Amino acid sequence: MNILNIAWKGIKTDFRDTRTLFFMLLFPILLMLVLGTALSNTFTTSLIVDDIDVLYKDTTNGEFFPHFINEVEKSGLHFTKAAGSTDGEKEVKQGTYDGYVEVTDQGIQLYVNNGTSIEGTILQGMLASFVDQYNITSEIIKVAPEKLESAFTREKPADFIKETSLLPDQQPGSMDYYAIVITTMIILYGAMSASSLIVSERVRKTGDRLIASPVLKSEIFIGKVLGSLVSNSICIVLVLLFSKLIFKANWGDHLGLVFLVLLTEVVFAVSMGIGVSFLSKTSAGPKVIIMLFVQLSSFFGGAYFKIENPEGIFKLITDLSPLTWMNTAVTKIIYANDFAAAIPALTINLSGAMLFLLVAIVSLQRREGI
**Is residue 47 assigned to a domain?**
no
Say yes or no: 269 and 214 in one domain. yes
| pLDDT tens string 111-145 | 787 654 677 777 777 778 777 776 776 677 667 76
Say yes or no: 244 and 111 in one domain. no
The whole-chain average pLDDT of the chain stands at 82
Number of domains, the chain: 2
Q: Where would I find the H helices in the chain?
A: 2-16, 18-21, 27-38, 65-72, 88-93, 117-143, 148-153, 174-194, 196-203, 207-212, 217-245, 255-279, 285-300, 312-320, 322-336, 342-366
Distances (CA, A) of 61 to 83, 103, 104, 161: 16, 10, 9, 38
Render 266-293 in DSSP notation, one character per residue.
HHHHHHHHHHHHHH-SSSSHHHHHHHHH
Say what the pLDDT of residue 28 is. 92
Query: What range does the domain containing 105 cover?
Result: 52-150
**Is residue 162 assigned to a domain?**
no
What's the CA gap between 16 and 18, in Å, rounded? 6
Say yes or no: 187 and 242 in one domain. yes
Say yes or no: 94 and 183 in one domain. no
Spatial strand order in the sheet of 77-81 = 77-81, 52-58, 99-104, 107-112
| pLDDT tens string 171-216 | 788 899 999 999 999 999 999 888 888 787 777 777 667 667 777 8
Say yes or no: 248 and 103 in one domain. no
Say yes or no: 205 and 124 in one domain. no
Say what the pLDDT of residue 247 is. 92
Say yes or no: 64 and 200 in one domain. no
Question: Is this model's pTM higher than 0.85 or not?
Answer: no
Say what the pLDDT of residue 176 is. 92
Q: What is the CATH number of the domain that holds 77?
A: 3.40.190.10
Say yes or no: 18 and 73 in one domain. no
Say yes or no: 180 and 317 in one domain. yes
**Residue 345 · residue 329 · CB < 8 Å:** yes
Say yes or no: 71 and 134 in one domain. yes
Say yes or no: 191 and 261 in one domain. yes
